[in-house]
Amino acid sequence: MEKYYMGKALDLAKLGWGKTRPNPLVGAVIVKDGYLVAEGYHHYYGGDHAEVDALKKIDYTAKGATMYVSLEPCSHYGKTPPCVEAIIKSKISRVVIAMEDPNPQVAGKGIRILREHGIEVVTGVMEEEAKKLNEVFIKYITTEKPFCILKTAMTLDGKIATTEGDSKWITAEDARAYVHHIRNRVAGIMVGVGTVLQDNPQLNTRILNKEVRHPTRIIVDSKLRTPLHANVVKTAKEQSTIIVTTEEASKDKIDKLRTLGVQILKTKGRDGKVDLEDLMIKLGQQKIDSILLEGGGTLNYSTLEAGIVDKMLSFIAPKIIGGQAAITPVEGIGKSLIKDAFIVENIGIQQFQRDILIEGYIRRK
Ligand code: AOF
Ligand code: ZN
């Protein structure tokens, strides 16, 4: 039964996808005398926490009830008063928690306060599922840097475009639709200027029948080569666009881009290139908690080398195009020895029509 109710809490949490950023996805249910009497979740950033959302539905009267909540209740005054106070006030006698809150302001304090008030606390129920659900939050709240997902789509022979540069499309509709759902959840989407010059992409979210949220576009462009007529510049007033550059950028071009609504961000220089680690700190300060990295090969290698990639989403389409000069998902200078390879672990595999998706996490050295 513990798992059944926690499963419900986790399902409720998912209703907040893309809307609670940079706060976590949290769900809660309250069970009294064997009946589920209230459900709640965190709907949007700044709104009621899941625990309070559930408690409000039963007027904070839950004497002797059990609350199942996917994250440890908070103990701090943030945008809202601490949830532990609401739980104590409503006379709940037992709280079942999936995972401890990684937020340093809470980190076990919520559990301790509940126990000090004689409330029985059980932790670790469906902990793995809860941690996966909040992988972005865990990274962001503990490091203040965004969780980065590197997405690639290649043919069976490992190419992301033909020798002529044609790439529309490698994967079929279902796989591409899945990527748009991810764009709808992340705070940012990042590409190198090479992709802007080659494909002139929109980098927006295109999904049907759902609330659409467009991620902030982040273009890594150390010499400021992005054309003023690029799609990402032309639409900068409707969907925010950040161009990341260095001191080498021309002042005149910076002014022109700014007038068109583009935010210019300069990082510390690194041999005339953008310093990606410094960039992550600066984007974190702008509350960007998650980034989808959508290529090309040069930037992909740099992001891996810089150690900023957390997760891989690698699509493989059952097509073969050949061509020695056709580019691959990860270019750059490359490793000399296999023992130095980037290792992807905790692999999962899914299929979308005929395309295969391999998901995994970059092993930290
Ligand atoms: C949420 N929703 O359902 C729970 C959270 O800025 P505040 O006041 O909304 O507080 C955010 C912190 O509260 C968050 O970092 C996490 O530690 C804790 N729990 N947050 O947004 C919730 N239960
Ligand atoms: Zn709370």
Does the Cβ of 75 fall within 6 Å of ligand 1?
no
Q: How far is the CA of 65 from the centre of ligand 2 (A)?
A: 18
Catalytic residues: 51
Residue 153: predicted pLDDT: 97
264/318 same-domain check: yes
Give the CATH number for residue 255. 3.40.430.10
Minimum-distance ligand to the CA of 53?
A: 1
192/332 same-domain check: yes
Among 264, 302, 306, 261, residue whose Cα is nearest residue 145 = 306
28/6 same-domain check: yes
pLDDT in tens, 45-97: 999 999 999 999 999 999 999 999 999 999 988 888 899 999 999 999 999 99
Q: How far apart are CA 69 and CA 131, in angstroms?
A: 13
For residue 288, give both structure tokens: 């960007």
191/323 same-domain check: yes
Residue 269: predicted pLDDT: 73
ipTM: 0.89
**Boundaries of domain holding 339:** 144-362
Give the CATH number for residue 111. 3.40.140.10
Residue 102: predicted pLDDT: 97
Could you say which of 136, 168, 203 is where a domain stops? Answer: 136
120/252 same-domain check: no
pLDDT band at residue 211 using 50, 70 and 90 as cut-offs: confident
69/191 same-domain check: no
Q: How far is the CA of 204 from the centre of ligand 1 (A)?
A: 28
pLDDT in tens, 129-144: 999 999 999 999 999 9
For residue 341, give both structure tokens: 């390879």
Residue 150: predicted pLDDT: 98
For residue 254, give both structure tokens: 């910076």
158/271 same-domain check: yes
Q: Is pLDDT of 207 > 90?
A: no
Q: Which atom of ligand 1 is nearest to the CA of 141?
A: 15
358/283 same-domain check: yes
Residue 227: predicted pLDDT: 96
Tell whether the torsion through CA atoms of 47, 50, 54 and 59 is positive or negative: negative
Residue 212: predicted pLDDT: 85
Total of domains in the chain:
2
267/358 same-domain check: yes
DSSP string, 151-198: EEEEETTS-SS-TT---TTSS-HHHHHHHHHHHTT-SEEEEEHHHHHH
